[in-house]
Amino acid sequence: MCFTFAGRVQTRLMALVGPALLAGLLATIHRDPDYWKLFGVMAVVGLLLDVGVYGWLITYQPRWVSVLLAVAEFLIVKWVVEWPYPLEIRLRTRQALMFYAPAWIVGWATIQALLPTLFVRWAEDGGELVHLPIRLIRNVAARIGRPADLRRSYLSAAALLALAASPWLVVALRTPPGQHFTGLLIAEGWHLDALAAATAAVRDTGAYTPVGMIGGVARALRWPPLGIYWMAWGAAAFAWLLGLWRLVAPRNRGGVLAITAGCLPVLVLPAPWLLALSLIIWLAALVPWHRYRRLAAGIRRLAVGCSVIAIGVWFFAWLRIPAAPLAYVCEADWQALAWLRQSVPVGRSVSAEESLFWLAPALGGHPKTLTEGANSVRLADGDDCDAGQVLFRHADVCVVASSAISP
């Protein structure tokens, strides 16, 4: 069957009714709310895959592909369930399978038998049960494109992102043993500021900004914020490029330039800005901007300039590979910064030398300071560790208390 985007989501939601009932039944029988959490993971994973992957790559979905996707989704659900935080689901694989398999069968029966019986037009309407306003749908659908265009643009955006990020990928693959890759290759200042805000947000709750959300996810999963930050950057960069590809569609020279220009934000902007840009580009799907000729002409001229700069920045990133000072952090520094983030109370500042001075706010979660004071600690190494009260030590790197405060 060929689904529309809205049809996939609506069908998925309808197919989740049976598994929801099954989760409730098992949770009641076994008096274990983990079955509800498992259902939640199953629902969220399925919906994210529908909107983020299937809707773009799969035009026609035969039944045997649905079976294969179910296996893949189970493996993803199993991986998520095994995260220690935040869900803390304590079901064993066998228990999870005893829920997942019947739940999937019930969902499949809903799609194969119940929906076609109750809603005779369900299959013809691409899985849609509730029809959104036709004009809006047609406008947005026409802007986003036909099924074949969706797959082409999805794969093209992925390939373009891989090309734009290739310097970072090379640096990551060349990480020496005992070092951690930070991702800071060019435009380090902007990324450090954003990382500092995200790392600080790991402790603060209630910040509904992009950086706040990055920090919130890191806090919930108890993962290092650096990893979450670059995952968010990658997702935002992909969404930006995909939106650009769909809306500009490189059918001519102007389109190619716009796509090339679109790599400039990917190369230099930090994750929060990219998240905002990707939201803007998708909202632009509702505006027929190409009808405004002056605007379109202005955007084309801007695209020419930006594409030249983007190519230059990309080559500059390659040239920086051997010399980026903040690209790698040694294991000892990494552990010290993690300890700072997790163990030093909010309100303390950090003094350090050289590269650690710049990384302390971003990876340690505390503001940097040039002078020691009552509220500061110091990152030190070697003999300097013997000169004060050591709060933490890993190899030859240590965190030393300021002489004015007690640990």
Residue 250 CA, distance from chain mean position: 26
Give the amino acid at 157: A
Question: Quick check: 271 and 214 in contact, CB under 8 A?
Answer: yes
Whole-number minimum distance, CB 250 to another protein, in Å? Answer: 20
Rounded least distance, CB 2 to another protein, Å: 4
Tokens representing residue 148 in the block: 């074949």
Residue 365's region, left for phi above 0, alpha for psi from -120 to 50, else beta, is left
Shortest approach of another protein to residue 207 CB, angstroms? 40
Residue 151 or residue 394: which is nearer to another protein going by CB?
151
Nearer CB in complex with another protein: 4/209? 4
**Cβ pair 45, 16 in contact under 8 A:** no
Q: Which is nearer to another protein, 63 or 174 (CB)?
A: 63
Smaller CB separation from another protein, 37 or 246: 246
What does the alpha-carbon distance between residue 313 and residue 267 come to, in Å, rounded to a whole number? Answer: 7
Q: Which residues of 136-150 are buried (b: 16+ CB within 10 A; e: fewer)?
A: eeeeeeebbbebeeb
262: tokens are 């679109």
Decide: 272 and 210 in contact? Cβ < 8 Å.
yes
Least Cα distance to 66 among 107, 94, 99, 102 occurs for 107
Q: How far is the CB of 129 from another protein (least distance, A)?
A: 12
Q: How far is Cα of residue 302 from the mean position of the Cα atoms in its chain?
A: 28
Cα dihedral value 45, 46, 52, 53, nearest 10? 120
Residue 47 to residues 11, 50, 119, 195, 341, Cα–Cα distance (Å): 10, 5, 21, 29, 34
* Interface with another protein (CB under 8 A): 1-4, 7, 59-60, 62-64, 67, 112-113, 116-117, 120-121, 123-126, 128, 138, 141-142, 146-147
Supply the minimum distance, in Å, between the C-beta of residue 177 and another protein. Answer: 49
CB of 196 to another protein, least distance (A): 45
Which CB atom, from 128 or from 372, has the smaller least distance to another protein? 128
Among the listed residues 221, 228, 239, 248, the one whose alpha carbon sits nearest the alpha carbon of residue 51: 239
Count of residues for the chain? Answer: 407
Find the shortest distance in angstroms from Cβ 131 to another protein: 10
Least separation in angstroms between residue 137's CB and another protein is: 8
Looking at beta carbons only, is 3 or 358 nearer to another protein?
A: 3
Taking the least distance from each CB to another protein, the nearer of 2 and 57 is: 2
Nearer to another protein by Cβ, of 146 and 203: the residue is 146
